[in-house]
């Protein structure tokens, strides 16, 4: 079955509503989701500025170009959303979807001096070699060069921790990317809660970490990560 614009709208709208259900959002502008429109390399699906994630329906989405202009739909893109996501899509065309959120535990981890996701538990191993870090907090991304710095920091990884800010996850489909976003927050939650105990944490050796990550990656082709909401 061909993946067309109608299904793309359904998927990215459902991702917003699921994000609201899991409390990944903050108010109206606390994060942004984008999807490169099927058949395009310069048209991005996203929501208009000021729309709450819980309210997102397929016909509310806007299609913007790489200059930030709305070419289909009503409303305009939020400034930082455009600067961050246009840079990401340009640098990583292999990742069609980017989800940026200020999730509670991932954001809490990004505030720590040691803000790395460590191989303390199984869920973290999904991202054993996939994480990059942009540690310099530079206020809101109201300039294009800030988005470009984030995209440069992501490099060839698919997860970017933004220091004292939140996270960005990229993937080939909306379903797979949201699946990773969900488990990333669970991994961060496990780490933060374990740190609360004040006890020394046990590290999973790198060899076992890479083995588990490969096992998770091997399941991707067999798992149908379709959003139903």
What does pTM read for this prediction? Answer: 0.93
Q: Using the structure block, give the residue that is written with the tokens 């299904």.
A: 7
Q: What is the pLDDT along the chain (229 residues), one digit of tens a residue?
A: 468 999 999 999 999 999 999 999 887 667 999 999 999 999 999 999 989 999 999 999 999 999 999 999 999 999 999 999 999 999 999 999 999 999 999 999 999 999 999 999 999 999 999 999 999 887 676 678 899 999 999 999 999 999 999 999 999 999 999 999 999 999 999 999 999 999 999 999 999 999 999 999 998 765 555 665 5
Q: Report the CATH superfamily, name and number, of domain 5-220.
A: Class II aldolase/adducin N-terminal domain (3.40.225.10)
Non-local CB neighbours of 84 within 8 Å, separated by 6+ positions: 32, 100, 141, 146, 147, 150, 168
* Structural contact between residues 102 and 140, judged by C-beta atoms closer than 8 angstroms: no
- Give the residue from 183, 172, 170 showing the smallest Cα distance to 212: 183
């Amino acid at each position: 079955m061909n993946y067309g614009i109608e299904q793309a709208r359904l998927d990215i709208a459902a991702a917003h509503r699921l994000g609201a259900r899991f409390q990944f959002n903050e108010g109206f502008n606390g994060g942004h989701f984008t999807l490169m429109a099927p058949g395009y390399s310069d048209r991005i699906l996203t929501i208009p500025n000021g729309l709450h994630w819980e309210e997102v329906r397929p016909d509310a989405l806007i299609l913007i170009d790489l200059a930030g202009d709305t070419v289909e739909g009503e409303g305009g893109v939020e400034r930082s959303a455009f600067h961050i996501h246009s840079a990401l899509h340009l640098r990583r065309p292999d990742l069609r979807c980017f989800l940026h959120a200020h999730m509670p535990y991932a954001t809490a981890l990004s505030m720590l001096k040691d803000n790395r996701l460590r191989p303390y538990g199984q869920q973290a191993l999904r991202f054993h070699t996939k994480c990059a870090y942009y540690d310099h907090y530079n206020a809101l991304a109201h300039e294009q060069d800030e988005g470009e710095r984030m995209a440069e920091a992501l490099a060839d990884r698919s997860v970017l921790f933004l220091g004292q800010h939140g996270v960005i996850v990229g993937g080939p489909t909306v379903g797979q990317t949201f699946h990773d976003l969900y488990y990333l927050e669970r991994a961060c939650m496990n780490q933060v809660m374990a740190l609360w105990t004040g006890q020394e944490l046990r590290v999973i050796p790198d060899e076992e970490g890479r083995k588990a990550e490969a096992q998770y990656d091997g399941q991707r082709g067999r798992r149908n990560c379709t959003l139903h909401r």
